[in-house]
Structure formats: C-alpha cells, structure tokens
Amino acid sequence: MTAAAPSVAPVTDPATDRAHIARLYRAHLSSGRAVLGTVLGGMLETASEGAWVYTEDGRRYLDFGGYGVFILGHRHPHVTAAVHRQVDTHPLAGRVFLEPVAARAAEALAARTPAGLDHVHFVNSGAEATEAGLKLARAHGHTALVSTTGGYHGKTLGALSATANPKYQQPFQPLLPDSTAVPYGDTAALAATLTELGRRACVIVEPVQGEGGVRIPPPGYLAEVSRLCRTYGAFLIVDEIQTGLGRLGAWWGMDDEGVHDADVLLVGKGLSGGVVPVAAMVATTAAYGPFSRDPYLHTSTFAASPIACAAALATVEALDREDVIGRAKALGDQLLAGVRATCAPYTGGLVHDVRGRGLLIGLEFAEEQAVGELILELVGRGVLVNHSLNATRVLRLTPPAIAREDEVRLFLAALAESLRVVATRVG
C-alpha cells in the first residue's frame, strides 16, 4: 500500500496570486490586458474606499483617474447603504408590476436635469444610453447622424458610429449609414452640414470632450450648436456621461452655456455612486413620446433594475446633501492651479498644455510616450490617473470631489517627482 501524497499548503492564495490571475486573464479575458497589467506591476485591485484603491498586498493607491466614474469616490457610504438595503429586499425586478425605486430615482434625476428633460430611460452603461438616444432620434425621422471629431460616445455599433475615431471604427465598418463628423468647436462647419441635412440630422455632442483629451470648445459653442439645431429642425443629444453630475463643477456642462433646449441628455459614470453600473437617457416629453407610448419598443432585461436605481437615487441625494457640485468647482480650481504650477517648468518642452474645467483636467504632452511613462511613474508613487482614449498625448485627471487637501498635496508632490523623472527621458 502506498502512502497518500502529503497535502502541501499552497505558498500563495490562488485568488490573489498575481501570476495565476495574469494566466487567467490570458486564458479567459484578454491577453492584451494581461500584458498591460503586468507592465504596470502586476498588482491586483481587491478593495476600494473614498479616493483610494487597495491592492492584494495591502498597498493603497490614490485614485485620480477612474475614467470619470468616481465623483463621489469609491463606495460612497450613502450609496453603499442604499444598495445593501436593496440587495436584502428586492435587487432585480420581476418586471410585471410597477417598481417604486426606479420611479423615485427617475423623479430625483429629472428634478436635477435642465427644465423640460423629464423622462428617464435607465440603462446599464454609457454606450447603451447613447444607443437609446440614437434610436429615439430615428423614431422621429432624424436618421442622419452628425458627431464631432474626437468625440466619444461608446463602442456599441450605433454609439461607435458617433465615436469618430478611425482606430475603433475601422475594424467594424460598415457602421450606421449616413454618419458624419464635423470638427469639434466649429459652428460654421456644423451649419454647413445642417444646411445639407436639414431635419434629418441628429447631432450628438459633449460640452467638453473627455476622451477627446479634455478639449474645451470656444465660449458659446454649445449654445450655438443648440441654436443651429433649432434653426434646421435637427435633433440634439447632449452627451454628459462624463461631464455631468458635477464633474465640471456644475450639475451639467449645459448649465455653463445656458443651453436648455436639448432633446436628449445622456448621463452615466458618476450616476453609479461608485457602486453599481447605471446610466440614463433623459428626454423631453415631445422627444420621449415613442418610448413612453410603447414600453416594449426599446427594452433590456436588466435596465432600470432596483439595485441600479437604488444606487442612482442615493447618488443624486448625496450629490445634493454634500454640495458635491460646489466642492467639485472649488477643488477643481485649486487642483488646476496646482497642476499648472507643477507643470510650469516643463511648459513649452515636455508639457504642451494644461487645461480643465472643474474636476476634468488634461495634461497634454509634446510626445505620446510621455503619457505612458508618467502613468507608470505615478503608479510607482501610489497614484492612479488615466490616458485619453481619443487623444494619445493627453493624460486625464478625474479625481473625486470628496478628495481632501492632504490628498491633493500628495498628488501634486507625486506629479512633480514623476515629471522630473520623465523629463530626463522624454522631450
């Protein structure tokens, strides 16, 4: 009789063994993502709270990125509590009866959107909000899609037709027919296109382009886009998935421009409260008609789930109660001034431009390589930031409005050190 093989305790826990998780990524998720994760150090993110993300080794990273999601930080307590309650009562709806959490979340959001935008269609992602907006426009005969160069509206097929980046569009052509992109910030070009298309046009635009590299249009741009849409009978979708809910230091980018006559407003990212994915398409009564009359015209099993709507409702409440909008404005002004001062020695060389509004701040470099190097240097100093999907030379900051003074100081110190190191290698 042979002895049983001794049971050997694993040296590391497979759930947090970096090499094992990277192998799982390669085998089942994405080899490209596995490479990127490894280049960044191979850490595994396993927890989060407020402005901080924690890795499996107990380290913590100040999250000034998060792709614009965490205006309330990670796991905001008010949102987390609401979601816990919902999990314990009724997380997903049977969708036969009316459901109160979705109704109350819609009321709360509509109370905060510009006047007239009263009808809310909850979805699970930004791209789905875009899809809902594009379909609503089509239901009214606005079948010619006009987007802007550098704009980003998501990557599902319809949304991708408006995300005018050849890198993402090319492999999936043909996309929606009758789609065109006009230069962002150029109202003359838009007027020329609308002269041609007339009321067939559906215009989709961001108040500030986020993924486009924090591109801030000339003052009055959005107001003029809106006026042109009214003049030519075009349908206007304002995409505030990144800029809305306080990110720009106002509830909406539209507020800054005094635009109050969009047909559709898109909301996402921050609506999650940093807890549950949720986005929304918000429309006027006139625009929403087709979706309102026929609730099965555009549906999705998980859309408007009680758990997502509990997060959305609690998020809007927290934004209000904690004056997150005012804090985003004050913190944004302070951070932009700090970033400008920190970058000043490199301006005209390594750094091409620093710009921002509220808590959406972009650092444009002379060379693309600097963005990757800076991200790595900052990670090494315990700070997370993002690149921009449609602007390879722009590093993007989207910190939470709940960040404290000492956290801002920590960020600026890490940025100063990182710039010093990168400047010796690039530019």
Pick the piece of the chain touching ligand PLP (CB under 6 A) from 74-82, 235-243, 390-398, 404-412.
Answer: 235-243
Binding pattern for the stretch 42-81 against ligand PLP, x by CB under 6 A and - elsewhere: -------------------------x--------------
User: CB–CB of 259/93 below 8 Å?
Assistant: no
Query: Per rule CB under 6 A, is residue 131 in the interface with ligand PLP?
Result: no
Cβ nearer to ligand PLP, comparing 154 with 249: 154
Cβ nearer to ligand PLP, comparing 152 with 184: 152
User: Which of 117, 120, 150, 211 contacts ligand PLP by CB under 6 A?
Assistant: 211
The count of residues interacting with ligand PLP (CB under 6 A) is 15
User: Which of 131, 239, 256, 364 contacts ligand PLP by CB under 6 A?
Assistant: 239
How far is residue 173's CA from residue 156's CA, in Å, rounded to a whole number? 12
Q: Give all strands (DSSP E) within 261-358, no chain letters.
A: 264-267, 279-284, 351-357
User: CB–CB of 258/110 below 8 Å?
Assistant: no
User: CB–CB of 234/201 below 8 Å?
Assistant: yes
Cβ nearer to ligand PLP, comparing 187 with 388: 388
User: Which of 214, 241, 254, 309 contacts ligand PLP by CB under 6 A?
Assistant: 241
How far is residue 274's CA from residue 264's CA, in Å, rounded to a whole number? 24
DSSP class per residue in 148-215: ETT----SSHHHHHHS--HHHHGGG-S-SSSEEEE-TT-HHHHHHHHHHHGGGEEEEE-SSBTTTTSB
CB of 241 to ligand PLP, least distance (A): 4
How far is residue 363's CA from residue 220's CA, in Å, rounded to a whole number? 24
Cβ nearer to ligand PLP, comparing 114 with 268: 268
Q: Is the peptide bond before 10 cis (omega within 30 degrees of 0)?
A: no
Cβ nearer to ligand PLP, comparing 360 with 403: 360
Roughly what angle, to the nearest 10 degrees, separates helices 368-380 and 405-425?
130
Query: Per rule CB under 6 A, is residue 148 in the interface with ligand PLP?
Result: no
| N-term to C-term CA, the chain | 71
Query: Per rule CB under 6 A, is residue 184 in the interface with ligand PLP?
Result: no
CB of 384 to ligand PLP, least distance (A): 16
Query: Per rule CB under 6 A, is residue 419 in the interface with ligand PLP?
Result: no
Strand 351-357 with 279-284, pairing: unpaired
Cβ nearer to ligand PLP, comparing 67 with 302: 67
C-alpha distances (whole Å) from 289 to each of 99, 285, 298, 395 are 21, 6, 12, 41
User: Which of 152, 184, 221, 252 contacts ligand PLP by CB under 6 A?
Assistant: 152
Residue numbers at the binding site for ligand PLP (CB under 6 A): 67, 125-127, 130, 152-154, 206, 210-211, 239, 241-242, 268
